[in-house]
Structure 1
Amino acid sequence: MTIWIKNARIVNHKEELQPIELLIHQDTIQAIGENLASLSLKAYEVIDAGGALVTPGLIDVHVHLREPGFSYKETIKTGTMAAARGGFTTVCAMPNVDPEPDTAEKMKQLQEKIARDAVVNVKQYAPITMGLRSEMLTNQTELLAAGAFAFTNDGVGVQSAGTMYLAMKEAAKNKTTIVAHTEDDSLLFGGVMHEGKRNKELGLPGILALTEASQIARDVLISEATGAHYHVCHVSTKESVRVIRDAKRAGILVTAEVTPHHLLLTEDDIPNDSSIYKMNPPLRGEEDRQSLIEGLLDGTIDMIATDHAPHSKTEKMGGMIGSPFGIVGSETAFSLLYTSLVEPGVVTLRQLIDWMTIKPATVFKLEGGAIEIGQKADLAFFDLATTKEILTEKFLSLATNTPFIGWNVKGTTTMTFVSGKLVYKEGPIK
């Protein structure tokens, strides 16, 4: 099958939207140009992109697909459908499922289910420790052979410095990455939102910035001692940005991600005791938010990841104290960031695309991140002109737990291709 996509646009290095046409043959980009009609095309399908922006397929290194064990929240199929609707063609799935893929046998079983059900590329993390407890290490060699992408205990911090040291020593030997949810449990004190001014106004226990930053400080020194690649999940505080910046200046092999919600919201946006605003790490102060943006702009933070964390409506009815942490993000990330950061001129469109494609591909050595002849046709198309409201009834995820419902955005996805196959389209295609 050959597909000729015309009437698309690409952002060039001058930040101009340049007309482009693409020829996809089977799973690969065969030709790129502005007038492919001159080619001798045979047996092809024509798709008019309607002036949409085309980018490399977005890459999300942090999602929760919830399967096995929690399929009432999300499944591999619905989670990857949601990713496709957001323009993501590759997602990296966290291992806090039931059972955790902490042995080669469990990993192989999960990989088989992913192969059956996923509509986008899925890279599966393995746990750092057995059962996600800070005690016995998993067998990295066996898990990598079974298809593990990298190693993380996301959802909980590794509490033992000794355990993290041994894990990073092993990771350095295996040339793999330790991906850390940084949270010192001894500093939590039952917190459910940021320890600032808003939690006091609402009478709710706070989560100290120190909870996150102190464990990053510990871990970057362990990374330096072992030579392991250490990646920090969902950075949220100005102190964390400072520690990571200092570590990079010292030549330590550390990378980091930030979420859309931490870039766009603060504690001041929390209207009441609403679990829709409960996430971990929590929404911080305005100084923190500005530090995160500065961190992206100066290269301290390498990429944007959603931390897509679906929960059922029933689970999210308990208020801040009685509900689980997490919000969904796969379907809204690009449009929210384009509308709130690119259109006002805070960042450029080229920068946003890089943080969501090239940077994660480069840091984690993944395929993708470029539109080039010979590359797999993993592509996303976005409507930059039309304003649309974020509506729960449009979601393909099983969950709709997000504070962004009702926001008006531009940059919604019109089409997503994975290996040349159309896996998502919004409405009829011309």
Structure 2
Amino acid sequence: MKRKFWLQAFLVPFLIILTGCSSTKENQETTAIITSPESTKNAIIGTPIALATKIKVPAGEEIPFCHGSGTHKLVTKDIQITGTIVFQTDDLRGLYTLGGSPLTSKQVIPDNLQSIMIGFSPDGNWFAYAPFDSGVTDGIDHFDLTLLSAEGKELNQSLDLVQLEEYLQEGYWFMGNRIPSFWISSDLIYVTLYARNPEETSTAYRLGDFPRILDPFTGSWENQLLDLPEYDLSSPVGISPDRSRALYAEMDGLSLWDYDRGETIRKYSFLIPSLEGLSLWSPDGSKAAYVNLNDDYSEMTGVIIKNDGSYLPLVNKEFPKAGLFIQYASWSPNSKLLALAVAEGEDINLLIYDAISEQYIHQCIVSKALGYDPALTWSPDSAQIAISSPDSPILLYDLPSGNIFELAQHGRVKGWSDKFPLNLP
């Protein structure tokens, strides 16, 4: 397997070290969301931001806009959300849940603890996270992973890293910085690690994440899924939920791999992958979206690739409109819609792409309430999207009504499940 290492000019001051997550949980229930010890106590819940039109766009016509951003006014009726949202405050601290009617927040991990949140499994039955520490220690040979079930069970795994010494020595380990760790399916996790390049000096670090595939229930590494022709370790691999396909980056384009037949289905040289590329399979495994994040110079920055090898353009310099670059992408659980957070000049625009009609159906400017590095998290019923960004409000976009509400003053959403209670196990 081809291995390429990218160097980073500055020290990455993070790693996974052997640490125990305190069993003490501060369960604080309130109708206002507590986002940090310093945050104001009067967090606004239910602030309407904008109203979107509900018109499908014929091919070639401009995507309908929202009616525009409104003023922050407290609504009188309760906001209804399906299931439980989980989010963190700044600097990976604490963990909070949000849900119920009236809308209620609970703190389940105290703010003095930092954790890497992998989130909910696709079936909604498990929530995974790992303790985090910003100290520096040589020779780490394992890290800890915690799984919480919707039925109240807790599973703790101490995961072996010794076998990875073939690739990286004297490792400084850190899960999910540039490309976050995520569930491939309900029994596999795509784990990303930072580590020192063993061929360079002690201050040299790889810029890209170091990917591994983990069975979290047995603690075993399924690394054979990464044995792909011409695979560049600095780029993520998109593995379909049924493990039949892999969409991955090469130096000169993308490749779609058939695991069952052991061959390349098709190569795509018209899109040059970046260090911040994402390969995102729809939950039903029928198609994948590949996007280059924060790329405003390439001709093509986003594409839909179906599992038979056919493809459709998603974003380029002129389509669906000029001057866009992608900051985040997320499939709806029903695999019908793809949400994109794109930067358009100084604005952040939310685009919704309909994968059935193969066209964009609407867009909404949310820049007045959204900062850098936005994340999009779908509700289990594919009817709502949580929009979150560090130091910015958590927004809720309700597709049926077209309304956008403010749920909390700031926080980063880490998952959404209709099976977990507000008080996580």
What's the TM-score once normalised by structure 1's chain length? 0.30
What's the TM-score once normalised by structure 2's chain length? 0.30
Higher percent of residues as helix:
1
